[in-house]
Amino acid sequence: MSNPRVVIVGAGFGGLTAAIELRRAGFEDVAILERGSGLGGTWRDNTYPGAACDVPSHLYSLSYAQRRDWSRLCSPQDEILRYLHEVAREHGVDRLVIPDTEVTACRWDDARAVWIVETAGGATREADALVLATGQLHRPAFPPLPGRERFTGHAFHSAQWDHDYDLRDKRVAVIGTGASAVQLVPEIAPEVARLVVFQRTGNWFLPRRNRAYPRAWRTAIRRLPGLQAWRRRFVFEYGESLTAMIRHPRTAGRLGAARSGAFMRWQLRGHPALRRAVWPDYTFGCKRVLFSSAFLPALARTNVDLVTEPLAQMTPAGPATADGRVHDVDCVIYATGFRTTSFMFPMEVTGAGGASLRETWRDGARAYLGMAVPGYPSMFIMYGPNTNTSGGSILVYLEAQAAYLRQALEHVEAQGAAALDVRPEVATAEDQAVQARFGGTAWTRCDSWYRNASGRVVANWPGYMREYLARTARVDPADFRFLARPEPAGARAGAGPQRRAIFKE
Ligand code: NAP
């Protein structure tokens, strides 16, 4: 191997999975540039009370790094972060992480067929391949509330939890009722004096108790051969069944809605007004179905109010709703999600001929199999457009993507090329096929962060995990153009010694 230089941006699950795959295949020159102080990505950032994954850990873990000692069905944030550290260490990729290194721009140099990666502070680094693994959910979104800065109390975002602020006995507002809010509200509700939860849209719920595994179960999973694999398979198929409900809202989806509706009615028995207030007015599965057995009972507490009146502005005392009411609070917690559909990179990306990715994606982000963009040679995206999942584990997708980009780079090596570039007609045909598959599904039946302003679904994969696995299992070299190495090769600044040796051949 000519030892191509691979720069990965982001040391979350995506970046680390890519690095592990490349290192296992013998790619030696891999660096992971990380803006934060350490690895972990979303699991380092999101430390709000109750933060946990709502995908069971037997599937929310890498296939080659299985654990038999998960504390509960859905691991809490600290357990997942610990797992990520352990896996990175076991595979020797923790030492590839260069922390406190914010990438500000990535530019493809046509003449020299390399990526120039610029970091804050002005340093640059060259790469033969670029992997963007900055995730879809890392830039906190705040509602465009007039006067937001006028609030005189304390305020923070759920993804930037202020652990120094004591919520006990305070009057607190939580804005938003998405996946983060439903985890944190039941945790803080018993502590605070008053909690006002602002809901814009109701959600569909399914049960999740998430008690600690009993000792007998933990022993069984440790000792009984095959139980762990069966458990993973079971969760995989459960996830696929959820996708079936979203894909087929008139049939399977009705079963999902009925199950969810029965659960919600049971949870809110004796609270008919609250039940009406939280009831979703859109098709089951259009937005993320939320797994919680604790959120709706928390809303029914005597110290909790649910407000469905739209927010109008922020006043010095607290949020004001459209009916003119000001909700006096000491603290506002924005559980308002992330800036996602604008996709996605906190840096400038410039491809062949000086094209800007922002411009290339002006009608919505798109990438071949979520990973490759025509005109951006040897650039791969982890968790890129149309690879989010509503029913499965994103780690299944990330593993598939890591294997795919590793294969692609092996083809570059085998052909003695400088880089590869997905053919525009191949990418366009795939994009059309992906978009066509959304027709008739629940995803198109409401507004959500999965869709951009024009209604195009930019975040999600339209099918099952097994389909994505099959689609990405093998790289077809015919889908790509291979770029010749420029001359004079030996003069390339910064090229590693092995690479120079190849150029001399
Ligand atoms: P989110 O799902 O985008 O929810 C944001 C919430 O804020 C929604 O209730 C939204 O209302 C509300 N909101 C946004 N802008 C608003 C505005 N201007 N006025 C009033 N309300 C507003 O964000 P999240 O809860 O942080 O979750 C984001 C994603 O992170 C999830 O979908 C999931 O993929 C991931 N996540 C996963 C887990 C897990 O356990 N696996 C846990 C947390 C997060 P609308 O519904 O009306 O837009």
325/358 same-domain check: no
Domain boundary, last residue among 293, 316, 334: 334
Q: Is 396 exposed, middle or buried (0-12, 13-18, 19+ CB in 10 A)?
A: buried
Give the chain's residues under pLDDT 70.
Answer: 1, 341-345, 488-505
Question: From the CB of residue 504, how many other CB atoms can be counted at a distance below 10 Å?
Answer: 7
Contact 327 CB / ligand 1 (< 6 Å): no
Cβ–ligand 1 distance for 336 under 6 Å, the answer: yes
Residue 500 in domain: no
pLDDT, position 410: 98
Atom number in ligand 1 closest to CA 340 = 3
Is the CB of 286 inside a 6 Å radius of any atom of ligand 1? Answer: no
Six-digit token pair at 422? 């997905």
Mutate to test the pocket of ligand 1, among 180, 332, 334, 339 (most ligand atoms within 8 A of CB): 180
Going by alpha carbons, the residue nearest to atom 35 of ligand 1 is 179
In this structure, is residue 317 part of a structural domain?
yes
176 CB near ligand 1 (under 6 Å): yes
Closest by CA position to 96, among listed 177, 163, 23: 23
Q: Are residues 302 and 163 in the same domain?
A: yes
State the closest ligand 1 atom to the C-alpha of 180, by its place in the atom list counted from 1. Answer: 25
Instruction: Using CB atoms within 10 Å of the CB of residue 95, give its burial: 0 to 12 exposed, 13 to 18 middle, 19+ buried.
Output: exposed
State the distance from the centre of ligand 1 to the C-alpha of 388, rounded, in angstroms: 14
Based on the domain organization, do 370 and 310 belong to the same domain?
no
For residue 458, being part of any structural domain is answered with yes
Task: Provide the pLDDT for residue 1.
Answer: 67
Output the CA 448–ligand 1 centroid distance in Å.
9
Instruction: Report, in angstroms and rounded to the nearest whole number, the Rg of the chain calculated over CA atoms.
Output: 24
CATH code, domain with 452: 3.50.50.60
- Cα angle, residue 295 at apex, residues 293 and 300 outer, rounded to 5°: 110
Burial of 326 (0-12, 13-18, 19+ CB in 10 A): middle
Q: Is-contact 447 341, C-beta < 8 A?
A: no
Kindly state if the Cβ of 53 falls inside 6 Å of ligand 1: yes
Do 379 and 328 reside in the same domain of the chain?
A: no
* Structural domain contains residue 86: yes
- Residue 71 phi/psi, 5° resolution? -75, -30
Whether residues 357 and 466 share a domain: the answer is yes
Tokens of 460: 């999600």
Q: Where a domain ends, among 334, 360, 391?
A: 334
Residue 284 lies in a domain: yes
Ligand 1, atom 36, residue with closest C-alpha: 179
Domain around 317: 148-204+250-334
Query: Are 272 and 197 found together in one domain?
Result: yes
**Same structural domain, 180 and 308:** yes
CA-closest residue to ligand 1 atom 10: 176
Beta bridge partners of 130: 7, 379
Task: Determine the residue of 137, 148, 286, 339 to mutate for testing ligand 1's pocket, defined as the one with the most ligand atoms within 8 A of the Cβ atom.
Answer: 137
Query: Residue written as tokens 């959304």?
Result: 438
* pLDDT score of 343: 65
Domain count for the chain, please give it: 2
Residue 241, domain member (yes or no) = no
- Whether 479 and 423 map to the same domain: the answer is yes
Domain shared by 292 and 359, yes or no: no
Q: Which atom of ligand 1 is nearest to the CA of 201?
A: 47
Same domain, yes or no: 265 and 328: yes
Q: Does 218 map to a domain? A: no
Place of tokens 């670029």: 130
Pocket probe for ligand 1: among 80, 281, 336, the residue whose CB has the most ligand atoms within 8 Å is: 336
How far apart, in whole angstroms, are the C-alpha atoms of residue 470 and residue 382? 17
Answer yes or no: do 422 and 296 share one domain.
no
Nearest to 201 by CA among 19, 448, 371, 484: 448
Answer yes or no: is 219 within a domain: no
Say if residue 314 is in the same domain as residue 345. no
Instruction: Please count the other Cβ atoms lying within 10 Å of the Cβ belonging to residue 52.
Output: 21
Kindly state if the Cβ of 390 falls inside 6 Å of ligand 1: no
